[in-house]
Structure 1
Amino acid sequence: MTKKQVGEDTPGRLTRTAVIDAALGLLDERGLDGLSGRAVADRLGVRMNTVLWHVKTRARMLELMADAVLSGIDYDGLPGAPLERAAELAGRYRRALLSHRDGAALVTRTYSAEPHTLRYADCLVEALLDAGADERRAAWTAWTVTYFVLGLTQEEQAAPEKSDDRLARAVDTTGHPALRRVLPHLTPENFDQRFAFGLRSVLSGLLV
């Protein structure tokens, strides 16, 4: 079957899920900068109009992709203790982002109000409410946790090789004495420990 023949009747056959799955496959292969609607169409062997029929715009495609990334979050076996549950949810959120190349950058570029995104947010807010936070504090802490995870994970996915010593060469004792003192702790490594430290710092604010 030729590409033209597939494209002629694909809108009725091809599903939005298949389009998003193809887009995620391209994301893993090429990264976010290499993703386009035309590349997705080529991967599926259909016309560009067929892809647009399902996702309308590139921005909408990114929203659906971001939500699909969060479909990888497992909600089974969460801790009963509220703050432990919130921390575990944040960890699972991070793992879902890390499961796709540029996963954090993808989610950061969208404002997705889709089912998987909303489920994660609802579970996180519920844990914070159960921990004793009032409505505003629960909402703002959930934002803070989410922004922290997105920022750190985006850095992790874009981190240079361990052998990259640009920071060490740029920081000198005369111009940056404080940075020089803490330089061993600024290397792009130990992301697990940095994640645990930052998350603990945010959630401990609920106990004040």
Structure 2
Amino acid sequence: MNTVLWHVKTKARMLELMADAVLAGVSYDDLPDAPLERARELAGRYRRTLLAHRDGAALVTGTYPAEPNTLRFADRLIDALLDAGADERQAAWTVWTINYFILGLTQEEQAAPDEGDERLARVVKPGTHPALQRVMPHLRQDFDERFTFGLEAILSQIPA
């Protein structure tokens, strides 16, 4: 422990470095030329990279690593959004939105119990939760479909 503290002075700093190390797993090879397709692919690679690490999203959430791998990813995603026609503010804020969306969804996916759908069906009661009961068939834990839907909702705001 003393050796680690010699090199990394605080727990927060150690978590930042660990979060940045997770992002080292994002590949930038063979990205699509079309800007929005490139943004979709980068977002998907980010999610898959987080999923490849036990509690990867929980580790990255709550850190603020201004480190090489994190900055490289942000730069590539911003570049794709700028190329797609977003102005500087929209590109920056869209990257934040995509990041928060992926971290939240992936954190939920990594923490989801195996019986999540059945458990929800047992506790949602028609008299107490009528709106939830009505949409129950659409609340299943299909994280891939939810990821695609959410990402498309975000990217639909970019003027193509």
TM-score (norm 1): 0.74
Query: Where in structure 1 are there 5+ consecutive unaligned residues?
Result: 1-47
Once the two structures are TM-superposed, the CA of residue 165 in structure 1 deviates from its matched residue by: 2.8
**Where does residue 157 of structure 2 map in the other structure?**
205
Once the two structures are TM-superposed, the CA of residue 150 in structure 1 deviates from its matched residue by: 0.5
**Where does residue 117 of structure 1 map in the other structure?**
70
- Of 37, 41, 63, 1:88 maps to 41
Q: Which amino acid aligns with 1:153?
A: T
**Compared CA separation, residues 87 and 164, structure 1 to 2 (3 A):** closer
**Residue 81 (structure 2) pairs with residue 146 (structure 1):** no
Q: Which amino acid aligns with 2:142?
A: N
Once the two structures are TM-superposed, the CA of residue 171 in structure 1 deviates from its matched residue by: 1.1
**Where does residue 28 of structure 1 map in the other structure?**
none
Q: Percent identity?
A: 73
Which structure is larger by alpha-carbon Rg, 1 or 2?
1
Higher relative CO (Cα under 8 Å, sequence separation at least 6) belongs to 2
**Compared CA separation, residues 92 and 166, structure 1 to 2 (3 A):** same
**Residue 3 (structure 2) pairs with residue 66 (structure 1):** no
**Residue 12 (structure 2) pairs with residue 56 (structure 1):** no
Once the two structures are TM-superposed, the CA of residue 184 in structure 1 deviates from its matched residue by: 1.9
Once the two structures are TM-superposed, the CA of residue 164 in structure 1 deviates from its matched residue by: 6.0
Q: How does 1:1-208 map to 2 (within 5 A)?
A: 48-162=1-115, 165-187=118-140, 189-207=141-159
Q: Deviations over 1:124-159 (max 9, x none)?
A: 001000000111111111111111100000000000
Tell me how large the CA RMSD over aligned residues is.
1.3
Runs (4+) of structure 1 exceeding 4 A deviation are none
Once the two structures are TM-superposed, the CA of residue 62 in structure 1 deviates from its matched residue by: 0.6
Q: Which amino acid aligns with 2:150?
A: G
Q: Which amino acid aligns with 1:194?
A: R
TM-score (norm 2): 0.95
Corresponding pairs, count:
160
